[in-house]
Amino acid sequence: MKPQMAYDRAITVFSPDGRLFQVEYAREAVKRGTTTVGIKFVDGVALIVDKRITSRLIEPVSIEKIFRIDDHIGCATSGLVADARVLVDRARIDAQINRITYDEKIQVKTLVKRICDFKQTYTQYG
C-alpha cells in the first residue's frame, strides 16, 4: 500500500509533508468546471455561464447554472451540478428562514457567511 493512502481518505489529516490530499482533489475538480462570471452594475447585475455540452446525450436546455435564491439574490454556478444544487437549496432555505424569522430580506453578506459555514462543516466532518 502506498504511504499516501493513509492520508488520502481523511479530510482533515495532513500528510507528513503537510498536504491535504482531499483539498488537492477538490482543486482538480474545480479546474474541470466551466467559466462563470458575475458583473455588478449601478442598476443590477449580469450573471454569465458557460453551458458546455460534454456529451451528445445531454439536452442543452436541461442544463441549469443560474438560480434565483430570493427576490434580491441570484446565483451562478460552476463545477459539479449535484454540489451546486445542494448549496442552492441550502441558500434558499436560509433566505426563507431569515424572512420568516425577521420579516426582512437576508443580506447577501449574511447568506454568504452561512453558506461558507455550511461548506466548512462538510470539509471537516464529511
Determine, yes or no, domain membership for 44.
Answer: no
CA 68 to chain centre: 14
3-state secondary structure of 116: helix
Count up the domains in the chain and report the number. 1
Active-site annotation holder among 12, 34, 77, 101? 34
pTM for the full predicted model: 0.80
108: domain range? 53-125
Residue 77 identity (one-letter amino acid) = T
Determine, yes or no, domain membership for 101.
Answer: yes
Determine, yes or no, domain membership for 37.
Answer: no
How many residues appear in the chain?
A: 126
Q: Active-site residue 101, yes or no?
A: no
Determine, yes or no, domain membership for 30.
Answer: no
CA distance 59 to 33: 18
Which residues are 36's β-sheet partners? 49
CA distance 84 to 82: 5
Residues near 117 by Cβ (< 8 Å), separated by ≥ 6? none
Q: 53-80, pLDDT tens digit by residue?
A: 878 898 888 889 999 999 999 999 988 8
